[in-house]
């Protein structure tokens, strides 16, 4: 069984470890910041570029490239926005960092700010994390009092404030431009890109870096050990560690941190998480948060992939898939936010999709026509199916509606709401057909269709 | 007559056709220049781009260049530069043309995108076209016909939303019809500068509404009805009154102020049902004030004059003209012209004044400007009076000059062209000292006291021109016939001039323009029928020394005031 490599989660659930500054410092905290603020900012950006760090929020965008895109000639202030709107169903990693090790995040923020000449950083935390917001506020106050944030950090003349901004409970605020609109006090309608790339026209129309909580924690460790050393963790182009949040029908659900690409889905589910529940078999896995395309147990993925400089054939079952960004993308899904949702043979895929569709219909911001209307339509179809009026053609209709959404909206929510439907119907089409005929389609205890 | 600067033209390719478009043109406008219609809902040329309706998705490509050398990559088969087509469709509204831009609007992917968006827009739309005011001028109807699939796959229950929300005194909202394009929200924020509209809830349940405790009651609220692409925002005044396809459209001009907003008057069988703005990018863009939209009610007002009256009894026009001429021949006459009269009427008024040796006056109307489409000068045509030489200086407040002349006994007969002298500042005692010849549309204190009354036509019943604050001469046409008993102002004036033995002039518009062209060099080369629909900018340099009351409005920046 592959061993966990806990970098970000090193102290999570450690007995006696407290989220206060003293505890963090006793464990060597802020030593990296103290060194970093005496280096040249460009050196730090170079370290991040060398590290190959990819964003842990969902898209896996290279962090160093993101820093490189920032418009530094505009004369406007540069902002850092920390995306702590962890809302993707199946994902629960950032909240542990915030609750149990907030100073790790703050140190990552301060190093990132120093590297990018940022004078104000905002932590946008989802409305459903009131405790997290309180903990962060306390941690920021501690850091300021210890001169680790705020004016004249550690006597270097560099000043940077960190603020907590609470959201009001909307998934779309995790989309970076929707988040920025929300911070500006508006409805979180994602912006059109071009022209509103955050790196150029972000918060208050100023250049803005938006990064996920886990990503910024990695920056801290990159600054500590150097980009070169960090890049040796994990696999090429998929460096570092990743926290997998495993939920659903395994014996030991939870969060596990591994080097990226050094563990397969099969190892994660069977060895780390203890396999299926007694008497059950795995049926399907969503590997990267609810919007990632579902994988069906038993299907094969074949093709050629690059190993080193060579192209080699691969023929994988879902248990063979290495859990890294590129492999998951190659087989048509994604690593996303690291939320691994496991379903066993007790699950009706129609009902599971109904659940996902209800979520996305509720969370569509309503700006673009396809997503706004399509997400609710898909929800209405699956709800009707679950409540006893399924038709044989509903699967095909669902797929067609989803096809009319993906790729045609302002932000990636279009894909997020379309991919589950597309993949569920594609991979479990037989089950959708059977559902229409099956008695189960009209369970006696189903609540009335509203 | 200032020529606009020549825009930089750049080559683009739309559906295989090469055309040159001005730099900065977005893809919708570029396609329009190529004669290609790109359907859209949320995009409006006078508002910011939000790109939310997704109807304007097209395929976009750019010429391929080698990333290292920047050299063009050529296609071996065609010998032309290769085009890199974007894998995903692009919204045409938010993308500006760049040199070599290629757009495809007829591919299966574009067709599929449009069918998809149309289907989505219709699934929760009530489809109550038979009772919807927008039917006939509804983008949803038109584009469903043009780009939709023609059948529905939706068997679920539609969303339920508020059906008749009073957003303000003049606008009624049907939320179920709303397609959430946000044009109205952007208009209020960006043009009317009255940010009162917004969405509540989210997703497909998003609902347009006013902010709590606020109303959509600014004087431009009805523009939201005009730009609503569907039947969600309706005019409370026009709602359920008439099918738009029965209505005749007549180009007209808003007479509220010297802005001269271009309008369209919608009428059927001699009855006006509504007034809407007509696009003129040099004057009013696509907007007009609410207050101007109800002016048509004057046409059928209870106090409309319809009988010629002379010496206290109703009669016919000819004896009344003869009686008026007899009064005018006595001398000591004055003409009170109007800034609401047309250029042609003002010209004939000047000829009449000259024929009887009368002085001419104009009634001033000054109010607060709103910096948008209502200027401080509430007369539409003071500059016409200057141009025709009816007056040489700006009208004096309260007709003080005329009052002094009456008091001094120098004026014994007053011809009023539709102006109520009492409202304009002449006292009842002063009015009693003079005999009044009143040519006008509505009864008032002056018509009641007048010796001779000749009913004339409102702006909706005649044609003519106004000169706005920019010195732009704009023409308007008659939308409806005048009531029985009313005579055209020009013919009445021409008859009066003939009756006082003045130099003959024709009493119809083309004849007057022949005379105008001879008298006013600027109008020399132009015939009335050749006046462009967007008006013609005249040279106002001769009057630059006057202290016009107007401040800044849309498309008008007043010259520095003379000291």
pLDDT in tens, A211-263: 999 999 999 999 999 999 999 999 999 999 999 999 999 999 999 999 999 99
Mutate to test the interface with A, among B120, B144, B201, B230 (most CBs of A within 10 A): B120
Say if the Cβ atoms of A377 and B123 lie within 8 Å.
yes
What average pLDDT does the structure give for chain A? Answer: 94
- Nearest chain B alpha carbon to A407: B88
Question: Do A169 and A261 share a structural domain?
Answer: no
Residue that is last in its domain, among A232, A260, A287: A232
Closest chain B C-alpha to A170 CA, distance in angstroms: 10
Say if the Cβ atoms of B54 and A370 lie within 8 Å.
yes
- The SS3 call for residue B516 is helix
- Nearest chain B alpha carbon to A170: B202
Closest chain B C-alpha to A366 CA, distance in angstroms: 4
* Overall pTM surpassing 0.90 (yes/no): yes
- Nearest chain B alpha carbon to A402: B116
Segment A349-353 long-range contacts (CB within 8 Å, at least 24 positions apart): A349/A283, A349/A284, A349/A424, A349/A428, A349/A431, A349/A432, A350/A382, A350/A385, A350/A386, A350/A390, A350/A431, A350/A432, A350/A435, A351/A386, A352/A284, A352/A424, A353/A382, A353/A398, A353/A420, A353/A421, A353/A424, A353/A425
Q: What's the pLDDT at B500?
A: 95
Hey, is the C-beta of A410 within 8 angstroms of any chain B C-beta?
Answer: yes
Say if the Cβ atoms of B179 and A369 lie within 8 Å.
yes
Q: Which residues of A touch B179 (CB under 8 A)?
A: 369
Q: What are phi and psi of A152, to 5 degrees?
A: 50, 65
- Cα distances from A421 to residues A360, A404, A432, B202, B343, in angstroms, run 11, 12, 11, 21, 68
Question: Do A177 and A94 share a structural domain?
Answer: yes
Hey, is the C-beta of A373 within 8 angstroms of any chain B C-beta?
Answer: yes
Distance of CA A98 to the CA centre of its chain: 15
- Nearest chain A alpha carbon to B205: A366
Q: What's the pLDDT at B2?
A: 47
Mutate to test the interface with B, among A192, A361, A367 (most CBs of B within 10 A): A367
Other beta carbons within 10 Å of B13 = 18
| Number of folded domains that form chain A | 3
Cβ neighbours of residue A329 closer than 8 Å, sequence gap 6 or more: A335
- Cα distances from B544 to residues B241, B270, B535, in angstroms, run 46, 41, 20
User: Which residues of B have a CB under 8 Å from any CB of A?
Assistant: 49-55, 57, 88-89, 91, 94-95, 112-113, 116-117, 119-121, 123-124, 153-154, 156-157, 159, 179-180, 198-199, 201-206
Residue with tokens 């007969």: B413
Q: What's the pLDDT at B154?
A: 96
Say if the Cβ atoms of A364 and B202 lie within 8 Å.
yes
Is residue A290 pLDDT above 60, yes or no? yes
Say if the Cβ atoms of B203 and A409 lie within 8 Å.
no
Q: Which residues of B touch A201 (CB under 8 A)?
A: none
Q: Which residues of A touch B205 (CB under 8 A)?
A: 366, 376
Q: How far apart are CA B177 and CA B184, in angstroms?
A: 14
Confidence tier at A202 by pLDDT (50, 70, 90): very high
Is A303 a member of any domain?
A: yes
Question: Do A57 and A118 share a structural domain?
Answer: yes
Retrieve residue B404's tokens.
């002094």
Q: How far apart are CA A357 and CA B267, in angstroms?
A: 50
Fold (CATH) for B118-242 = Alpha-Beta Plaits (3.30.70)
pLDDT below 50 — which residues of chain B? 1-2, 563
Is A1 a member of any domain?
A: no
Q: How far apart are CA B347 and CA B298, in angstroms?
A: 25
- Nearest chain A alpha carbon to B112: A404
Closest chain A C-alpha to B417 CA, distance in angstroms: 55
Closest chain A C-alpha to B27 CA, distance in angstroms: 14
Beta bridge partners of A234: A239
The number of residues in chain B equals 563
The correct CATH number of B309-543 out of 3.40.50.740, 3.10.105.10, 3.40.50.300, 1.20.1630.10 is 3.40.50.740
Strand duo A339-344 + A282-286: pairing = antiparallel
CATH number at residue A147: 3.40.50.11540
Say if the Cβ atoms of A361 and B203 lie within 8 Å.
yes
Closest chain A C-alpha to B280 CA, distance in angstroms: 29
Is residue A314 pLDDT above 50, yes or no? yes
**ipTM for this prediction:** 0.93
Q: What are phi and psi of A440, to 5 degrees?
A: -60, -20
Q: What's the pLDDT at A444?
A: 53
Hey, is the C-beta of A384 within 8 angstroms of any chain B C-beta?
Answer: yes
Q: Which residues of B touch A404 (CB under 8 A)?
A: 112-113, 116-117, 119-120
Q: What's the pLDDT at A389?
A: 87
- The SS3 call for residue B267 is strand
Residue B32 half-sphere exposure toward CB, CA atoms < 13 A: 12
Say if the Cβ atoms of A192 and B51 lie within 8 Å.
yes
The answer to whether B299 and B461 are in contact (CB under 8 A) is yes
- The SS3 call for residue B367 is coil
Is the backbone of residue A218 left (phi > 0), alpha (psi -120 to 50) or beta?
A: alpha
Q: What are phi and psi of B270, to 5 degrees?
A: 80, 5
Question: Do A90 and A220 share a structural domain?
Answer: yes
Q: How far apart are CA B227 and CA B288, in angstroms?
A: 12
The residue ranges of every structural domain in chain B are 9-106, 118-242, 309-543
Retrieve residue B461's tokens.
């019943």
Cα angle, residue B33 at apex, residues B31 and B35 outer, rounded to 5°: 70
Q: Which residues of A touch B116 (CB under 8 A)?
A: 370, 404-405, 408
Say if the Cβ atoms of A373 and B121 lie within 8 Å.
yes
Retrieve residue A447's tokens.
């609540």
Q: What's the pLDDT at A72?
A: 94
- Cα distances from B515 to residues A438, B207, B352, B465, B526, in angstroms, run 90, 59, 14, 15, 12
Percentage of chain A modeled with pLDDT above 90 = 92
CA A234, A235, A237, A238: dihedral to nearest 10 degrees?
Answer: -40
Mutate to test the interface with B, among A189, A362, A373 (most CBs of B within 10 A): A373
Q: Which residues of B touch A366 (CB under 8 A)?
A: 180, 199, 201-206
Is A442 a member of any domain?
A: no
- Nearest chain A alpha carbon to B156: A380
Q: Which residues of A touch B198 (CB under 8 A)?
A: 187
pLDDT in tens, B178-210: 999 999 999 999 999 999 999 999 999 999 999
Residue contacts between A and B (CB atoms, under 8 Å) = 96
Candidates A55, A48, A205; CA nearest to A113 is: A48
Q: What's the pLDDT at B76?
A: 86
Structural element, H or E, at residue B143: helix B139-147
Closest chain B C-alpha to A197 CA, distance in angstroms: 14
Hey, is the C-beta of A436 within 8 angstroms of any chain B C-beta?
Answer: no
The answer to whether B23 and B7 are in contact (CB under 8 A) is yes
Distance of CA B533 to the CA centre of its chain: 11
Mutate to test the interface with A, among B41, B48, B50, B52 (most CBs of A within 10 A): B52
Question: Do A264 and A142 share a structural domain?
Answer: no
Other beta carbons within 10 Å of A381 = 26
Least CB–CB distance from B202: residue in A366, A373, A381 = A366
Least CB–CB distance from A368: residue in B52, B119, B205 = B52
Q: How far apart are CA B552 and CA B550, in angstroms?
A: 7
Say if the Cβ atoms of A373 and B53 lie within 8 Å.
no
Q: What's the pLDDT at B6?
A: 67
Q: Which residues of B touch A370 (CB under 8 A)?
A: 54, 116-117, 120
Q: How far apart are CA B552 and CA B370, in angstroms?
A: 9
Say if the Cβ atoms of B89 and A377 lie within 8 Å.
no
Distance linking the first and last C-alpha atoms of chain B: 26
Mutate to test the interface with B, among A408, A414, A416 (most CBs of B within 10 A): A408
Candidates A358, A363, A185; CA nearest to B202 is: A363
Question: Do A407 and A268 share a structural domain?
Answer: no
Closest chain A C-alpha to B117 CA, distance in angstroms: 6
3-state SS string for B286-311: CCCCHHHHHHHHHHHCCCECCCEEEC
CATH number at residue A273: 3.10.20.600
Candidates B207, B457, B168; CA nearest to B341 is: B457
pLDDT in tens, A87-113: 999 999 999 999 999 999 999 999 999
Residue that is last in its domain, among A210, A232, A254: A232
Question: Do A413 and A428 share a structural domain?
Answer: yes
Question: Do A59 and A33 share a structural domain?
Answer: yes
Q: What are phi and psi of B300, to 5 degrees?
A: -110, 30
CATH code of the domain made up of B9-106: 3.10.20.740
3-state SS string for A356-372: HHHHHHHHCCCCCHHHH
Q: DSSP H helical segments within B330-449, as ranges?
A: 343-356, 382-387, 400-407, 421-424, 428-432, 445-449
Beta bridge partners of B553: B556
- Nearest chain B alpha carbon to A186: B198
The answer to whether B162 and B207 are in contact (CB under 8 A) is yes
Q: Which domain holds residue A327?
A: 240-344
Q: Which residues of A touch B157 (CB under 8 A)?
A: 380
Retrieve residue B245's tokens.
């396809």
């Amino acid at each position: 069984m592959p061993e966990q490599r806990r970098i970000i989660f090193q102290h999570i659930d450690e007995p006696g470890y407290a989220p206060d500054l003293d505890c963090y410092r006793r464990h060597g905290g802020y030593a990296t910041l103290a060194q970093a603020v005496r280096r040249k900012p460009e050196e730090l950006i170079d370290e991040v570029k060398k590290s190959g760090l990819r964003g842990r929020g969902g898209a896996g965008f290279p962090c160093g490239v993101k820093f490189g895109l920032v418009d530094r000639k505009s004369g406007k202030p540069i902002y850092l926005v920390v995306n702590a709107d962890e809302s993707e169903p199946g994902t629960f990693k950032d909240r542990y960092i915030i609750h149990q090790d907030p100073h790790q995040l703050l140190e990552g923020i301060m190093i990132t700010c120093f590297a990018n000449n940022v004078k104000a950083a905002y932590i946008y935390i989802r409305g459903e994390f009131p405790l997290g917001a309180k903990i962060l506020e306390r941690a920021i106050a501690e850091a300021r009092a210890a001169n680790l944030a705020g004016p004249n950090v550690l006597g270097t003349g560099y000043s940077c404030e960190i603020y907590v901004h609470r959201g009001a409970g909307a998934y779309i605020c995790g989309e970076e431009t929707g988040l920025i609109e929300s911070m500006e006090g508006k409805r979180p309608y994602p912006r059109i890109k071009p022209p509103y790339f955050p790196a150029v026209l972000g918060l208050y129309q100023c250049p803005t870096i938006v990064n996920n909580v886990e990503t910024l924690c990695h920056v801290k460790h990159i600054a500590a050990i150097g980009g070169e050393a960090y890049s040796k963790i994990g696999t090429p182009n998929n460096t570092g560690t990743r926290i997998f949040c495993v939920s659903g029908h395994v014996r030991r659900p939870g969060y596990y941190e591994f080097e990226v690409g050094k563990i397969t889905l099969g190892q994660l589910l069977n060895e780390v998480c203890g396999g299926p529940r007694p008497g059950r078999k795995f049926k399907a896995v969503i590997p990267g948060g609810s919007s990632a395309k579902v994988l069906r147990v038993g299907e094969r993925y074949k093709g050629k992939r690059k190993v080193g400089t060579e192209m080699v054939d691969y023929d994988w079952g879902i248990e063979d898939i290495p859990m890294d960004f590129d492999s998951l993308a190659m087989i048509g899904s994604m690593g996303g936010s690291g939320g691994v949702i496991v379903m066993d043979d007790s699950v009706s895929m129609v009902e599971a999709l109904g659940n996902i569709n209800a979520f996305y219909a509720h969370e569509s911001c309503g700006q673009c026509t396809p997503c706004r209307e399509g997400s609710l339509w898909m929800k209405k179809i699956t709800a009707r199916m679950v409540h006893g009026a399924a038709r044989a053609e509903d699967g095909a209709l669902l797929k067609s509606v989803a096809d009319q959404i993906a790729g045609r909206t302002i932000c990636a929510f279009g894909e997020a709401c379309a991919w589950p439907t597309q993949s569920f119907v594609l991979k479990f089409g037989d089950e959708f057909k059977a559902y229409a005929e099956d008695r189960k389609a009209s369970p006696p205890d189903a609540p009335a269709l509203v | 007559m200032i020529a606009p600067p020549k825009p930089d033209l750049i080559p683009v390719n739309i559906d295989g056709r090469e055309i040159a478009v001005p730099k900065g043109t977005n893809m919708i406008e570029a396609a329009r220049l190529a004669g290609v219609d790109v359907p859209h809902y949320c995009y409006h040329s006078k508002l910011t781009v939000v790109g939310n309706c997704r109807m304007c998705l097209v395929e976009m490509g750019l010429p391929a260049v080698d990333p290292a050398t920047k050299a063009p990559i050529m296609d071996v088969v065609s010998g032309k530069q290769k085009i890199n087509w974007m894998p995903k469709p692009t919204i045409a509204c938010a993308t500006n043309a760049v040199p070599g831009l290629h757009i495809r609007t007829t591919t299966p992917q574009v067709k599929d995108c449009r069918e998809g968006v149309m289907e989505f827009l219709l699934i929760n739309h009530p489809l109550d076209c038979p009772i919807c005011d927008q039917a006939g001028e509804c983008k949803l109807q038109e584009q469903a016909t043009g780009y939709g699939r023609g059948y529905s796959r939706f068997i679920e229950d539609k969303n339920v939303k508020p059906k008749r929300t009073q957003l303000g005194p003049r606008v009624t909202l049907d939320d179920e019809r709303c397609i959430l394009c946000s044009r109205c929200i952007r208009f209020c924020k960006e043009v009317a500068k009255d940010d009162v509209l917004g969405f509540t809830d989210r997703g497909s349940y998003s609902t347009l509404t006013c902010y709590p405790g606020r109303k959509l009651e600014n004087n431009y609220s009805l523009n939201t009805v005009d730009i609503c692409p569907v039947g969600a925002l309706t005019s409370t005044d026009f709602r359920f009154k008439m099918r738009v396809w029965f209505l005749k459209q007549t180009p007209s001009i808003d007479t509220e102020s010297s802005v001269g907003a271009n309008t369209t008057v919608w009428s059927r069988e001699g009855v006006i049902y509504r007034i809407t703005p007509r696009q003129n990018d040099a004057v009013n863009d696509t907007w007009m004030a609410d207050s101007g939209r109800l002016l048509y009610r004057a046409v059928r007002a209870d106090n409309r004059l319809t009988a010629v009256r002379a010496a206290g009894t109703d009669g016919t026009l000819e004896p009344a003209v003869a009686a008026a001429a007899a009064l005018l021949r006595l001398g000591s006459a004055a003409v009170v012209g109007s800034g609401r009269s047309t250029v042609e009427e003002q010209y004939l008024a000047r000829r009449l004044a000259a024929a009887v040796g009368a002085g001419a006056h104009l009634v001033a109307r000054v109010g607060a400007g709103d910096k948008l489409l209502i200027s401080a000068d509430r007369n539409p045509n003071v500059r016409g009076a200057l141009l025709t030489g009816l007056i040489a200086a700006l009208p004096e407040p309260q007709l003080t000059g005329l009052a002094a002349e009456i008091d001094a006994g120098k004026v014994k007969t007053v011809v009023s062209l539709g102006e109520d002298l009492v409202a304009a500042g002449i006292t009842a005692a002063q009015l009693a000292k003079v005999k009044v010849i009143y040519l006008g549309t509505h009864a008032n204190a002056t018509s009641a006291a007048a010796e001779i009354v000749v009913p004339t036509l409102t702006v909706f019943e005649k044609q003519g021109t106004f000169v706005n604050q920019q010195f732009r001469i704009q023409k308007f046409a008659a939308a409806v016939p005048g009531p029985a008993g009313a005579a055209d102002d020009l013919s009445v004036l021409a008859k009066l001039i003939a009756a006082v033995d003045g130099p003959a002039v024709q009493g119809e518009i083309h004849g007057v323009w022949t005379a105008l062209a001879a008298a006013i060099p600027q109008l020399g080369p132009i015939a009335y029928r050749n006046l462009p629909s967007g008006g013609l900018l005249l040279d106002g340099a001769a009057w630059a020394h006057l202290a016009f009351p107007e401040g800044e409005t849309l498309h008008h920046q007043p010259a520095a005031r003379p000291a």
